[in-house]
Structure 1
Amino acid sequence: MSSWTRLFQRPKRRHFALLDEERRCRMLLTAVERPCSAQWIEVPEIRLDWIGKPIPGALQR
């Protein structure tokens, strides 16, 4: 990889879902870093139909 490529390389964006106390999705976010709140979990993709519903495959407490 050349120096120019490394210089202009963008950070990898990751996807997160904010879960409420009943483990339902309340918000979706794409960001470089994980949000600080413990209720955010990383998800492989963003799907708007998850809002208000449990995330399929999300770990249970």
Structure 2
Amino acid sequence: MTPPSFLLTSPNAPRHFVLLDQNGICLAFKSCRDRPQHGNWVGVEEVRLAWLHHPLPAHARRPQDDQETP
């Protein structure tokens, strides 16, 4: 007997996002499956608390998330 397909698939892992202000300063972090709807949320590979209240380093951005439209 074959198990149901929903038992064989796992939900998408949460992705990490950083909320940037108009100057590129990190204001908040969020981990969720979809890009947050409101605000300037940018996808990142990881969350580093050292970025909080500082400009987001250019290397931290996930290029594939920048192509996505909210």
Q: TM-score, normalised by structure 1?
A: 0.78
Do residues 5 (structure 1) and 8 (structure 2) align?
Answer: yes
Runs of 5+ consecutive residues of structure 2 not aligned to the other structure: 62-70
RMSD (Å), alpha carbons = 1.5
| Percent identical | 33
Give the structure with the larger helix fraction: 2
The answer for the alignment partner of 1:44 in structure 2 is: 45
Whole-angstrom CA distance in 1 between matches of 2:25 and 2:44: 13
Runs of 5+ consecutive residues of structure 1 not aligned to the other structure: none
Q: TM-score, normalised by structure 2?
A: 0.69
